[in-house]
A and B are shown apart, each in its own frame.
Chain A
Amino acid sequence: MKEEAGKADSGWRADGSTRPQLSWMLKLPGYAPVAMCWLTAALLLVLTAFLTSGVGAFDTSYDVIWRLWLSPFHPQWAEGIDERVRYIVIHVRLARVCLALTVGGALALAGAVYQGVLLNPLADPFTLGVSTGAAFGAALHLLIGWGAGQFLGMSTLPVAAFTGALAALYLVYLLGRVDGRVHATTLVLAGIIVSTFLSAWIGLLKSLNEDSVSTIVFWVMGSLSAKGWLHVLLVLPYLTAGGAMILFYARELDLLTLGDVQAQHLGVNVQQVRFRLMLAASLVTAAAVSVSGVIGFVGLVVPHLVRLAIGPHHRRLLPAVLLAGALLVLLSDTVARSLLPSGQELPVGVVTAILGGPFFCYLMLHRKKYLQL
């Protein structure tokens, strides 16, 4: 898609002072470009989900997966397929694929919001300590035992994660402020300190509880193994609520990137909008973390990558970030569960960090100006 754009747009300059645009798509009237983007996105998602569903220790043919996926509409297509295969394809693989998509989308979306609201290219759920705060809240919640707590039929785990996330964010904000101003680097420094500190506490809590090392690794490095539809249903309401709030304020997010004063001059209620956006981003992060543990780099790298491709316009950026984050975590998780030969799994955070680290190094080395460091 990028190559097409470069050719189609005569106004594109190689020196980076303009950006390539998907001009033929964007010049269509009304909502047609938006509809087309969503259609492409949906197709891409389904296709990737389908392809990654076939990967894993248990061998299944794509023909079987296809038939099983469509079996709700055509029950006769699933005839003759082993119940065990059905269980793996629908309740293990597909559930995990959906969970990877939601978690990835959530983290990337939250990253885009933090970067926009804080005007900080280094901000993301992980560097701000929000993810680890959420993981700490969730771990504490499970330890104290109101882990089984139910409220109106929904588990309270994401709520505990949300509380942890907000507490961590507040702490980071207090620590990162110098003379009443928040600097990009001090904020991230504070975030990493809080994050490391809370990671240690998660380790301690888990050890005291005589949990295995693997559960510590789960919370600190992130993993989607042994998750089912229940977990998807657990996070989906929070994700939908937070995501809707974020998309609702997409236009204000554009104006906030001009700085508080200019946004206010243009008629944005800066304090209210910023507060709501931070709350929504933290909710979305907490929901994701409560089922996946801390997966780093997604929220940092994906918004930068997408912004480089289609620009910072949030009404376009946010949906694209949602999609790209979802795909990145899905692919990373597929690698994580299929890389080791013996059927063992890597934490998915290991894969995202191995992929994301070098990319971010590239950004730091060659796009310093863009990062405004």
Chain B
Amino acid sequence: MLSHASSQEIPATVIRVEDLSCGYPGRSVLNNISFCVKAGEFVGLLGPNGSGKTTLLLALSGVVAIESGEIEIDGRSLSRLKHRERACRMAVVAQETEVRFPFSCAEVVRMGRYPHQKRWQMESPADSAAVQRALQLTDTEALADRLITAISGGEKQRVLAAKALAQDAPVLLLDEATSAMDIHRKLQIFRVLKSLNQEQGLTIIAVLHDINLAALFCERLMLLKDGRIAADGQTHAVMTSEVLKRVYETDVLVQEIAQTGKRQVIFLP
């Protein structure tokens, strides 16, 4: 009885990274990184430019090849997963938002269903439901018939987020996914992500430049610097002026905001 209860309390590890080194031809970016992410975590990945945040996400999603070490998704080695199997387990909102061909936004969101569809299959009811839900969650229903080439950068990011949500994967990786959005839209998307995280156990790893946004929504922060993990832990433990100064080489003030109980960074001139 007791063991049953405790097994429910300990969530399974969905991502396990061990001794990972990788990079691009002639340039190594990540050096011997190890960490685990458990189901239902909301992790913020922070760090200065060039610290390896994007490379880490690309390695997790199989785009950048592993040099040494191991990545496991759901206990299975990433290199053994087929492309589609990986895409069913993990959706990514990439940093690159350029779409060259004039697809309508709804068509772009439907592309998120690709890993779930058989080759000659028409759109199933499950597909249309997932697409509809993704459009609702990101508040992009009004954009559905517009061409993706004719909307603004922030709108495009919302549509690409909808595409990733339509993918219906238990893990969601975001790489600067809200960088072009206004503050209202940013908060709106993150509130939606937070509710998916809490209600449906969606595991989220978000690369962010906005430390304050990360502090508002992420339970755990991972700070990268020069291709290594500089700090990793609960948000309130990591969000200290000492840690941030060490990582960003900038003097900052960290204060707890009474109304929200969250820490926020104040930058000094």
Q: Which residues on A are within 8 Å of B, measured CB to CB?
A: 11, 15-19, 30-31, 116, 119, 121, 180, 248, 251, 254-255, 257-262, 264-269, 307, 311-313, 369-370, 372
Contact = CB atoms under 8 A, between A and B. Distances in A.
A18 B92 contact: no
Nearest to B89: A267
B100 A372 contact: yes
A265 B114 contact: no
B80 to A, nearest CB: 14
B147 interface: yes
Contact of A257 (B61, B83, B101, B115): B101
- Size band of the interface chain B makes with A: 35 or more
Interface in B62-116: 62-63, 83-88, 91-92, 94, 96, 98-104, 107-108, 111-112, 114-115
A18 B104 contact: yes
A15 to B, nearest CB: 8
Interface string B120-141: 0010000000000000000000
Nearest to A314: B101
B182 interface: no
Contacts of B58: 261
Contacts of B209: none
A116 to B, nearest CB: 8
B147 A269 contact: no
A248 B119 CA distance: 8
Main secondary structure of the interface of A (DSSP, over half): loop
B146 interface: yes
B145 A18 contact: yes
Given A257-B103, A265-B92, A266-B114, 11 more contacts: A17-B150, A18-B146, A18-B150, A251-B119, A254-B111, A265-B61, A266-B111, A311-B104, A311-B107, A312-B103, A313-B103
21 contacts: A15-B150, A17-B151, A18-B104, A18-B150, A19-B102, A19-B104, A30-B122, A121-B100, A180-B25, A251-B119, A254-B111, A255-B111, A260-B63, A265-B63, A266-B87, A267-B85, A267-B86, A311-B102, A311-B107, A312-B102, A313-B107
A370 to B, nearest CB: 7
Interface string B6-41: 000000000000000000010000000000000000
Nearest to A372: B100
A180 B108 CA distance: 28
A40 B167 CA distance: 35
A267 B88 contact: yes
B111 A269 contact: no
B114 A268 contact: yes
Contacts, number: 92
Contacts of B167: 266
A265 B147 contact: no
Nearest to B24: A180
B98 A259 contact: yes
A254 B163 CA distance: 14
A264 B103 contact: no
A-B pairs with the 3 shortest C-beta distances? A267-B87, A17-B150, A267-B115
Nearest to A34: B122
Nearest to B117: A251
A261 B94 contact: yes
B96 A259 contact: yes
Given A18-B145, A251-B119, A268 B83 contact: yes
A196 B167 CA distance: 46
A259 B86 CA distance: 18
Contact of B100 (A15, A119, A264, A265): A119
A335 B167 CA distance: 50
Contacts of B61: 264-265
